[in-house]
A = this chain, B = another copy of it.
Amino acid sequence: MTSPKATAPETTAEVRERARAIPEAAVARLAVYLRVLSGMVEQQVTTISSEELAGAAGVNSAKLRKDLSYIGSYGTRGVGYDVEVLVSHIERILGLTRKHSVAVVGIGNLGHALANYGGFPSRGFPVAALFDIDPDLTGVPVGGIPVHHIDDITSVCAEREVSIGVIATPPQAAQAVCDRLVSAGVQCILNFAPVVLQVPDYVEVRKVDLAVEMQILSFHVARRADEAAGDVVNGVGVDGVVIRP
């Protein structure tokens, strides 16, 4: 990238420096490439070009090559990428060589779905603990894991070395739950509650907000409808000609 002549074996420092420099947007796409590539491995595909992989991942090939260049130069010119090599490098960069135990808090409809979701454990994210505030649920197994009372978050999370907390509680409870997770030492949170969580700087929060997603889609519906209507109605453009392109 910057300097190393020929194929110098990378030092830890170089790998680290490189990881630090990967744009946030590229990280998200690397995860997608990884999933596509895992499918390729299963189909016995051994080599793939940037064009093919890009198509399967829904991006253009220049972007894909740029993204891969952030993690190193592992392709062969004129040929493409070795699927397994790429898989292992992406896994390394994403930190998937270690296991990340997950705790789910809030065992309602969504919590149930998450506890039973096969996509976590199979990808190196074992669900290590479940929590709910309802004492009737305590001890009840969900997806094979017994539910703990929310008051035990600190001890259980520490004991099981939980590194990712998933908040699937009603909005009113989310901030309090978040605070407890943080004081239990959890530094990564995936938040499904429609609330903006306040956390210390060192805690990484990602949110999944269904209503927001819907509203973004709604915006696009509305804009399209406006465009279609406006071109004819408003005297701005006639017979379908858009004046301001």
Q: Is the contact region of chain A dominated by helix, strand, or loop, or is it mixed?
A: helix
Confirm or deny: A10 has a beta carbon within 8 angstroms of a beta carbon on chain B: no
Q: Which bucket holds chain A's interface residue count?
A: 35 or more
| CB–CB B95/A210 < 8 A | no
Query: In the bound complex, how far is the Cα of B13 from the Cα of A110, in angstroms?
Result: 42
Confirm or deny: A182 has a beta carbon within 8 angstroms of a beta carbon on chain B: no
Interface-facing stretch out of A31-39, A130-138, A152-160: A31-39
From B109, B113, B163, B220, contact of A221 by CB (8 A): B163
Confirm or deny: A190 has a beta carbon within 8 angstroms of a beta carbon on chain B: yes
Query: In the bound complex, how far is the Cα of B58 from the Cα of A196, in angstroms?
Result: 6
Contacts of A117 in B (CB 8 A): 109-110, 210
Confirm or deny: A48 has a beta carbon within 8 angstroms of a beta carbon on chain B: no
| CB–CB A222/B98 < 8 A | yes
| CB–CB B219/A190 < 8 A | no
Query: In the bound complex, how far is the Cα of B210 from the Cα of A35, in angstroms?
Result: 12
Contacts of A194 in B (CB 8 A): 35, 119
| CB–CB A100/B206 < 8 A | no
Q: Which of A27-68 contact B (CB under 8 A)?
A: 27-28, 31-32, 34-36, 56-58
Confirm or deny: A215 has a beta carbon within 8 angstroms of a beta carbon on chain B: yes
Confirm or deny: A212 has a beta carbon within 8 angstroms of a beta carbon on chain B: yes
Task: Annotate A203-234 by CB proximity to B: 1 below 8 A, 0 otherwise.
Answer: 01010111111111111111111110010011
22 example contacts (A-B, Cβ-Cβ < 8 A) are as follows A13-B234, A13-B236, A16-B223, A16-B226, A32-B196, A35-B211, A35-B212, A57-B196, A58-B198, A96-B215, A98-B222, A100-B218, A108-B113, A112-B113, A119-B194, A119-B210, A119-B211, A125-B214, A163-B221, A188-B220, A204-B220, A208-B208
A: which residues have CB within 8 A of B? 11-13, 15-17, 19-20, 27-28, 31-32, 34-36, 56-58, 93-96, 98, 100, 102, 108-110, 112-114, 116-117, 119-120, 123-125, 163-164, 187-188, 190, 194, 196-198, 202, 204, 206, 208-227, 230, 233-234, 236, 244
